[in-house]
Every structure is written in C-alpha cells, then in structure tokens.
Amino acid sequence: MLQAGCRSQPCMSRQATFVLTIKPQTQLELRQGSYTREFAMAESITKDKSVAREFTALSFLWRFAASLLLVLATYNPSGYSFFHWVSNSANLGAQQFVVGVVILIGWVILLAATKRSLDTLGMVLGVALLAGLVWLLIEFGVLSLESVSTFTWVVLVCIAALLAVGLCWSHIWRRLTGQFEVDDD
C-alpha cells in the first residue's frame, strides 16, 4: 500500500493499492481505481521512458560506429592509428600512455559486453558467419586477396560488426523471442 502525497492543493489522496503489470513490449502499466495527479504524471513518465529504451536500427548504427571508431583508432592500414603513433615514436610519453589506457578501457568494455551477451559459442559462430561472408565476397569477385590493405580494412570492419552485435544482442534477442536476458550475477 502506498500513500500518495499532495503538494500545493488540498490533499485528495487516500491509501490505495497499485497493480504493476509488465506488458510484452516492456511497458509498465500502473492501475488503480482513482488516483491523484502525481500518480498520473508518474505513469506518463514511466511510459515515456519505455519509449526511449526502444531499440532501433539507428541504435545499432550508433553502437557499430562506436565499435568501428575503437577498432580503427587502435589500428588501421592508413598509418593514422594508436599502433602507428606508438611504434613511430622514439620516446613514449604521457600522451601515449593516457590514450593507450583510454583505448584499453574501451576494448575491455566492448569485449566484456560481447563475451557476456554472446558467450564463447556465439562469438565463434559470429566469426564463422563473418568469415563466410568475406569468403563469399571473394568468390563473387567483390573482394580481392591481392590487396592486403583492402583485406585488412574488411577484417577490421568485421571485428567492429561483431563487437556491435555483442553490444546489441540482448535487444536483438528480446525482439526475436520476446524474452529478456537477465544477469545471474
């Protein structure tokens, strides 16, 4: 039982019992016979937040862009990456150290999220699928193994795609099956 409080107007609230129902699309419904404006506002805020948590293609693209940024900032064949910056420096300084730690933090977060959501089997299957797609592109003549640089770019994009799927997998799983993933920790 919850007691509703009134702020500026005469108190019209009374003790009420609330029923909280979880609908399939993760919307929460708050039902009661009669309730005050505060509870009506709380109900609309709850519904607004569930809309903001909806997973879209744009959500995936943002995660893919972040993964791609991390992968390409670490290494890319153009010569403008953390790897090239550190390997071409005579002295390693504080700047390289701080940037290296930030990149390491990014990798730990993305790899931990991917490992947790896809697990080892899912990651192996994801790598197999991406390798099969690259092989298919080579068979169709879209990609060539003669250019190491092009092949390296494709591999880096595949790594970013696998990390992005790992970041999004719980949302994708919920869309496919209607089931929520809950950590047992």
Per-residue pLDDT of the chain (185 residues; tens, 9 = 90+): 444 444 444 444 444 444 444 545 444 444 544 444 554 544 555 555 554 467 888 999 999 999 999 999 999 999 999 999 999 988 889 999 999 999 999 999 999 999 999 999 999 999 999 999 999 999 999 888 888 898 899 999 999 999 999 999 888 888 788 777 666 65
Cα–Cα distances in Å, from 30 out to 15, 23, 34, 40, 164?
A: 15, 11, 11, 9, 35
Model-level pTM greater than 0.75?
no
pLDDT at residue number 171: 83
What mean pLDDT value characterizes the chain?
79
- State the DSSP code for 24: T
In eight-state DSSP terms, residue 142 is: S
Domain residue limits, the chain = 1-54, 57-177
